[in-house]
Amino acid sequence: MTPPWSGLWSHEVRDQRRPEGLCPSATMEQAAPTGKLVQITVTDGYDLKCFKADTPVTFIRAEFNQVVLGDSSKMTVSPERTAKYNFTSSFELNPEGGITLDDLAHKPVFLTVTEVLPKEKKQKEEKTLMLGQAVVDLLPLVEGESSFEMMVPLHPVPGSPLEPLQSSVKQCSLQVKVSVAEPLLTAAQISGGNLLRVTLEAAYSVPESFIPVGPVQNYMVGLQVPSVGEKDRPIFFKNGTLKLGGEREPVPRPKKWPIANIVAPGANNIPDAFIVGGPYEEEEGELNHAEDREFRNQSECIKKRIIWDLESRHYLDPTAVVSFQKRIADCRLWPVEITRVPLIAVPKGKTARFDKAEDENQLSFHGVAYVNMVPLLYPGVKRIRGAFHVYPYLDSVVYEKTKCLFSLFRDSGHHLIQNNRIGGINSPLSKPVASKNLKEDKIQASSIKSQSSDTPLETEPPLNHNLEGQQYVDAGTYIVLEIQLNKALVPKRLPEELARRVKEMIPPRPPLTRRTGGAQKAVSDYHMQIKNISRAILDEYYRMFGKQVAKLGGDMDSEALEEQKCQLNFELNCSGKYFAFKEQLKHAVVKIVREKYLKTTSFESQEELQTFISELYVFLVDQMHVVLNQTMPDDVQGAASTIYTSSDQLRFFAFEAEVNENFEMAAVYYEERLVREPQNLEHWLDYGTFCLLTEDNIKAQECFRKALSLNQYHIHSLLLCGVMAVLMENYEQAEIFFEDATCLEPTNVVAWTLLGLYYEIQNNDIRMEMAFHEAFKQLQALILQAQITKEKSTGTVEYVEEGGRIESSLGPWGITSGSTTAIKVEAPADPTVNQKPSNVFAKEIPAKREASKCQDSSTFLHPTPYGVSQTPTTIFMETIRFLMKVNAMQYVHRVLAHELLCPQGGPSCEYYLVLAHTHLFKKDFAKAEEYLQQAAQMDYLNPNVWGVKGHLYFLSGNHAEAKACYERTISFIVDASEMHFIFLRLGHIYLEEKQYEKAKKTYLQACKRSPSCLTWLGLGIACYRLEEITEAEDALSEANALNNYNAEVWAYLALVSLKAGRQLEAEQAYKYTVKLKLKDEALLAEIHMLQETVGFGNPSF
């Protein structure tokens, strides 16, 4: 039985019941004549089962807001167990006083079906028995509807003959219609208003002092939300049920109305509203990390908990929505208070005396949870759900974190505690909104304390003053809370809109369709006719001279051939075949004139006609020779073989030229790829990254936009267009590109991180946190999936490795629990030097943001390989790898600053390697060496460290140290990331030191791994110096086939030809050596000396 005082501490406004005969609508019309009438009509009842078997009589009572709206007429239930009530009740809606839209949102209409038993002898009044209750949810009216019909189930009360709700049994139900004369909301209210749902599920791992025996306790949770204008409305969840644990709460389970005194147990459940739970990692709270899983499993299965499962719904008008947004942006954290109050009944007829000190002690175990509401300001976010730690309620801490001076339970609950003791008087509860005087008094007291001492609020009680509240911390108590809106506070751009904006900026350029009747088709037809005619002429030739040819074979002289030719021409002319062949070619030639030369009108002069005929004749003869050579190849002189270089080879050669700073040759390779496949967007992206390396930002932007025009759904193209838009300070376009990338691929970590960096530049802290948070979630999911896949392959599945744990005090972005500071980074990328970059990413940020920058999105989960070392993975390091790959050095320094200040990132071997690379790019060898020393200290066995150190010494001219570093690098079991250039430069050093055998072995390894012109050239030089002329010639020939514009290759080919005594080849090789302007004067002098020795090779002698 529900105690009579259980209705206390509720936020509902409850009026005393009226007598049954009183018309509620008439009373409300007097109080609020301008209100709108809400009518509830019950037409029929179905499958009713009553106590009396024959002709039972029933009636319906309608209640709303603890007020009886009226009773229906007494109706007889038919043998088919149906009844026609046609009962209409109503109440007035008056937002200015009385029933408001907020009441409609969270209070249902209760329809109670009661059976009237026949009078017995000597019985003055009829006896009635309650059968069940139905619940009518009025939420559709708050959503803008003017009428709706529904079939509501009738929930049986204990002891009722109605069947309990089961899927296999036909349920008893009522047909209900709800209507208003006109919609309760205007168009402006519908578009600007919102509906807030707050669901309190449970408090887990509660203190051990919470025991089910002893005085009955009322466990309550409360928070405030904006109501009308800037006023606040308190939300209370009362009468939590203390459970000892032992099993997990089932999911899904129904949400319940936050209303007491509901007679039928099934009527407590809100229709079509369920708690479904979900993975911890997808929650927005504080206990959503991998290492929290074990604690939460124990707390939600074994330990004590308090269960509410209540949902409270509230309508927010447009003004309240704006106030809600502003409050979240200003305060960020929302205080949710928890307490317990003993339920003590005072015997009737006795008075109660109240002692002030005793009264204050009634508010026990006063705690508070800090709910981060900022995700509700993320674009498109309508729901947050998570677990939040409970801390002791201390005024100074609560004010520091939430800027809130008002306690729901302490500052508004004094008279309620008295009512609780008196015996549960169900008096109306006014909305406990803090008065201005109360707030002013607290602010004034706070300021006085601050002025009277150097340490503000020094007279505040110590942290352990709230000893009962401290038990929440000791027990690890947390509450699970869900806050949901019907519409997102910040709308998110639709993917269709983003795609449309991208198309407006960069129109798609699909490849042109081939015309079937174009110039190529005309030339192809001409080729076909030439082939047919040539076959016909050959057939005629073999008909006339076949026997003679077979008899003489290859011994036929030129005079005989000329004689046969004359006879063949005579035969073709006499027989008319020559004229037929001309007519056969005529149509194909006409098509060439029209399609290829676009000549469709008469010529203006005879000279123009003759010129065109000459040009056409040359073209036709050339095409005839092409076809004849393809049809009848020359068996004597074979065509020169050519080595076809693939697109991947060209990309590799271009990268090789980049590293060697031969940018002119690199551009040639990139342009060659574009000429071959102009519709391949990867070629445009590669050329654009090359232009970024050479700091040609305009051309790089053109390349990236060209790639995007070929495929507007390509993520890398969108990201690079966004990067270039930021570099060019076109921020509006940058946001479109980054947002479109996140919409097209929501799991892309780099896309979310770049979007967060963009919002940081715009000083939009909330959206920056949103983007970094989403990036962290996606990285977490990817690494977890990779780990599970790996563990499944090995046959063992564990959820978290020791090396991948996260600090338990960190939130999902790395925020310390309870922190309210915006997470933003602006620090030098170098940990020892304050740089001032000249680009747009060097904007200064106020010092107040420096304290907690970038703790947010750097948290790593599991080790992932980079090179050979197992390094923590952060969203920033993932982004750095992408930016380094595309040569976006200006962006790299900003992301390095984030990585440096992140507690789970910070200086690492990979971090210092990236810094060293950026300084090598700027030729700042001193700083690069400094960072490489620090990288070596952190991971001495990393081959990448030694490889980059070798490059540093090689570029700075210290070839002895470079050789030592390169030799150490290739001695590791695992290769470094740039072995090709390590082999190239080590071989070059060996050649300089005349260690030709070592040079030969080194270049051979390079040729096996990744052959290029330079690797074959190095091998050819080593073989030549070892007097292995044949091997040297083979290697140099391979080098020349891959790149015949290398003057050094031609120079060594000249030396090899001179050594071999081949004069013609020596002269040709020397000619190209001079033509390509060989820069090595010593090598040129060596050629001249050998030419003088052998006496040939230089035609100018």
Q: Please tell me the distance from the alpha carbon of residue 272 to that of residue 108, in angstroms, as a whole number.
A: 14
**What are the residues facing 863 on neighbouring strands?**
872
Task: Answer whether residue 461 shows pLDDT above 60.
Answer: no
Of 282-296, 812-826, 882-896, the one with minimum mean pLDDT is 812-826
Contacts of 101 (CB under 8 A, 6+ apart): 93, 95, 142, 184, 185, 315, 317
- Give 237's pLDDT tier (boundaries 50, 70, 90): very high
In the prediction, which pLDDT does 5 show? 36
Query: What is the rounded radius of gyration, in angstroms, for the C-alpha atoms of the chain?
Result: 44
Nearest to 878 by CA among 750, 787, 712: 750
Q: What mean pLDDT comes out for the span 650-667?
A: 91
pLDDT of residue 670: 93
Strand locations in 373-517, DSSP E? 383-392, 478-485
Please report the pLDDT score of residue 245 as a whole number: 78
Whole-model pTM?
Answer: 0.71
**Of 637-646, 797-806, 1067-1076, highest mean pLDDT:** 1067-1076
pLDDT-derived band at 789 (thresholds 50, 70, 90) equals: confident
pLDDT tens, residue by residue, 680-691: 999 999 999 999
pLDDT band at residue 542 using 50, 70 and 90 as cut-offs: confident
741 near 717, Cβ under 8 Å?
A: no
Q: Percent of the chain scored above 90 by pLDDT?
A: 33
58, β-bridge pairs = 75, 115
Give the residue carrying structure tokens 């790395």.
814
Each residue of 396-406: pLDDT tens digit?
Answer: 899 888 888 88
Residue-wise pLDDT for 721-733, tens only, equals 999 999 999 999 9
DSSP characters over 372-400: E-GGGGSTT--EEEEEEEEEE--HHHHHH
Report the pLDDT value the prediction gives residue 859, as an integer from 0 to 100: 33
Q: By mean pLDDT, which of 29-43, 76-90, 757-771, 1038-1052 is the weakest?
A: 29-43
In this prediction, residue 188 has a pLDDT band, given cuts at 50, 70 and 90, of confident
| 919-948 tens-digit pLDDT | 998 889 999 999 999 998 888 888 999 999
Residue 645 — left, alpha, or beta (φ > 0 → left; ψ -120 to 50 → alpha)?
beta
| pLDDT for res 456 | 38
Band (307; pLDDT cuts 50, 70, 90): very high
pLDDT of 617 above 60: yes
Please, which residues bridge with residue 39 across strands? Answer: 90, 179
* pLDDT value at residue 281: 81
pLDDT at 482 over 90: yes
Res. 715: pLDDT tops 60: yes
pLDDT of residue 868: 39
Provide the pLDDT for residue 363.
75
Structure confidence at residue 89 (pLDDT): 93
Mean pLDDT of 130-151: 90
- Residue 138 makes CB contacts below 8 A (sequence gap 6+) with 38, 104, 105, 107, 108, 109, 178
Q: How far apart are CA 434 and CA 406, in angstroms?
A: 6
On average, the pLDDT of the chain sits at: 79
Q: How many residues make up the chain in this entry? A: 1101
Coil, strand or helix: which one is 370?
A: strand
pLDDT grade, residue 511 (50/70/90)?
A: low
Using 50, 70 and 90 to split pLDDT, how confident is the model at 628? confident
Selected residue with higher pLDDT from 4 and 494: 494
pLDDT of residue 1016: 95
To the nearest whole percent, how much of the chain has pLDDT over 70?
Answer: 79
Does residue 126 register a pLDDT over 90?
A: no
Average pLDDT over every residue of 973-977: 87
Is the Cα torsion angle 605, 606, 611, 614 positive or negative in sign? positive
What's the whole-number mean pLDDT along residues 679-705?
93
Q: Counting beta carbons within 10 angstroms of the beta carbon of residue 418, is it exposed (0 to 12), middle (13 to 18) or buried (19 or more)?
A: middle
pLDDT number for residue 583: 87
